[in-house]
Amino acid sequence: MVTLLAWRVPPRSRKRPATKRPATKRPAVKSSAAKRPAAARPTATRSQAKGSTAERPPDKGPITKRSPENLPERRTGAGHYFAELVPGLEEFGRAELKRLGAGRLDRAGDGVRFAAPANLASVLRARTVTAFYRSVTFAVPRPKGILGDQAMRHLLEEIGAVMAEGERAQDERFDGFRIAAAGADSPVFVRLAEQLESGTGLKQHDDGELLLRVRPDPLSEGWEVLIRLTPRPASSRAWRVCNRPGGLNAVVAAAANKLVGVRATDRYLNLMCGSGTLLVERALAGDAQRLVGLDIDAEALECSRANLLAAGVLERCELLHADVRSAPLPEAGFDALLADPPWGDALGHKRSNRELYPALLSSAARLAAPGARFGLLTHEVRLTQGLLASSNEWLVKRELQLEHGGHHPLLLLLERSSGG
């Protein structure tokens, strides 16, 4: 075991209880016209490249020939939302958003933008979206323009609306804010942070729950501010009361289940289930004839049990303490299988994977019914592709390359072939 992979469940989400914090008094959102208290100057502005898709640094020249004075300080994206998607898994996010009634989706950098739908609450329940934001576009040539009086007033109104809605709907408070932008340490962003501190009453700090992403607008000239709707990303699930090193990101798990297909007639098996992310997300996605998770590690199974219980699906699931190589389960007894085996970095070793991966593929083939689907998520790309190239048990139906937290794992959809 080395370190926890960044793109897997962040350790922070494990600690944070889903309980309401005691209410403390905080001033209402004010206009940016309010004078900045001289002492409120933050010592530093968080520079967080993570999640930022800025293609050009701030204040490095206008994007149009017009000077900021000649551009109207107006919002062009008012009433819009942004859904951040996992690169490589966008199709699942888009399909779910459509199904939930998001309407027209416009690709915008690492996600999609859509106009405020009538049934926003339903859209926000999407399980294959990393995070939802309010999107505010300013027709300014550089971030400095957002500091203008009219633009800042609009931004503060939008932030105020997000905070009020967050507290009302999610029973959670935003304790501080942080800015994610290329060049977030620049004087312009320091000034922006000062004005936001003054206007919102929130302090800027590294763990600030109100996340603001500032980037060049992907759909028009100008700059976009994305205001995350929730203190935590949507991928941080309320059911996760237990985590393990290597625990899978729940959004990736939800998409992997969709890739394999969710059918009420399925006998579903999550091999090497760990903390149960795939199993929980599958149980929440719909009915199945049978839902089974197995792992060699008894502590991992306890963790799965706790998460399944918190999700309210424990009674529908079976957990099995077994080695995947000799699992006492019926031959050809499963229609849908999922596995997220050790990648050999955070968990396991590259050397042992050379023995474990072929065993996993042949055990899964033994347990799979003819035509069964098998979703395999792995960072052992060469090893897996080499094994599948010579396999007469599994056909590769789809191969998706994901990008998340600096990793590029493969998500494969395999089908049990009739030969082998």
Q: Cβ closer to ligand SAM: 80 or 240?
A: 240
Distance of CA 25 to the CA centre of its chain: 31
Residue 258 to residues 255, 332, 413, Cα–Cα distance (Å): 5, 22, 11
Residue 169 to residues 20, 163, 173, 236, 392, Cα–Cα distance (Å): 12, 10, 10, 17, 52
61, 62, 64, 67: CA torsion to nearest 10 = -120
C-alpha to C-alpha distance for 415 and 301, rounded to whole angstroms: 27
With CB under 6 A as the contact rule, the residue among 323, 350, 354, 392 that binds ligand SAM is 323
Q: Does 340 bind ligand SAM (CB under 6 A)?
A: yes
Q: Does 144 bind ligand SAM (CB under 6 A)?
A: no
Angle in degrees, 0-180, between the axes of helices 277-285 and 250-260, rounded to the nearest 10: 60
With CB under 6 A as the contact rule, the residue among 216, 222, 247, 375 that binds ligand SAM is 247
Residue 204 to residues 175, 189, 208, 344, 348, Cα–Cα distance (Å): 9, 12, 6, 38, 39
Q: How far is the CB of 389 from ligand SAM (least distance, A)?
A: 23
In the shown chain, the binding pattern of residues 277 to 296 toward ligand SAM, with x for contact by CB under 6 A and - for none, equals: xx----------------xx
Q: Does 248 bind ligand SAM (CB under 6 A)?
A: yes
The DSSP output letter for 271 is E
C-alpha to C-alpha distance for 171 and 420, rounded to whole angstroms: 54
Residues of this chain, 74-103, that bind ligand SAM according to CB under 6 A: none
Q: How far is the CB of 70 from ligand SAM (least distance, A)?
A: 53
Which stretch in 140-148, 153-161, 309-317, 337-345 sits in contact with ligand SAM by CB under 6 A?
Answer: 337-345
Q: How far is the CB of 384 from ligand SAM (least distance, A)?
A: 14
**Residue 202 in 3-state DSSP?**
coil
Q: Cβ closer to ligand SAM: 77 or 276?
A: 276
In the shown chain, the binding pattern of residues 345 to 374 toward ligand SAM, with x for contact by CB under 6 A and - for none, equals: --x---------------------------
Binding residue count for ligand SAM, defined by CB under 6 A: 20
Which stretch in 11-19, 77-85, 246-254, 401-409 sits in contact with ligand SAM by CB under 6 A?
Answer: 246-254
Q: Does 275 bind ligand SAM (CB under 6 A)?
A: yes
Question: Minimal CB distance to ligand SAM: which residue?
Answer: 274
Q: How far is the CB of 409 from ligand SAM (least distance, A)?
A: 11
Residues that bind ligand SAM (CB under 6 A): 244, 246-248, 272, 274-275, 277-278, 295-297, 300, 323-325, 340-342, 347
